[in-house]
Amino acid sequence: MIKGRVKGKIWSSRRVDSMPSGALLEIEVEEGGQLIAFDPLGCDTDESVLITQGSVAASYFNGRTAPVDALIIGSIDETKT
């Protein structure tokens, strides 16, 4: 799993038909760098998240073929002081 922070939404006026409902988010990963992840949870900007990639991410869609390589699988609760 990868830990990252949501930096913003990626807006797209067109998608392939097999793409499920949900948002595409720009993520800054903890180790440095960025990636785009599919968000079925409704995460907000600056939220800390857990991401999985590859076949595990694609298999989330229960028999549907979805062109998803990175999937947000959890929102990390944080206490801000």
Q: Is residue 66 part of a domain?
A: yes
Q: What is the CATH number of the domain that holds 56?
A: 2.40.50.220
Mean pLDDT for each consecutive 10-residue tract of the chain (81 residues)? 94 79 91 92 95 85 80 85 59
Parent domain of 52: 2-75
Q: Is residue 80 part of a domain?
A: no
pLDDT for 22 = 82
Long-range residue pairs from 5-10, CB within 8 A, at least 24 positions apart, any chain = 5/30, 5/46, 5/47, 5/48, 5/49, 6/43, 6/44, 6/45, 6/46, 6/47, 6/49, 7/34, 7/45, 7/46, 8/45, 9/45, 10/36
pLDDT for 9 = 94
Number of structural domains, the chain?
1
pLDDT for 46 = 95
Q: Is residue 52 part of a domain?
A: yes
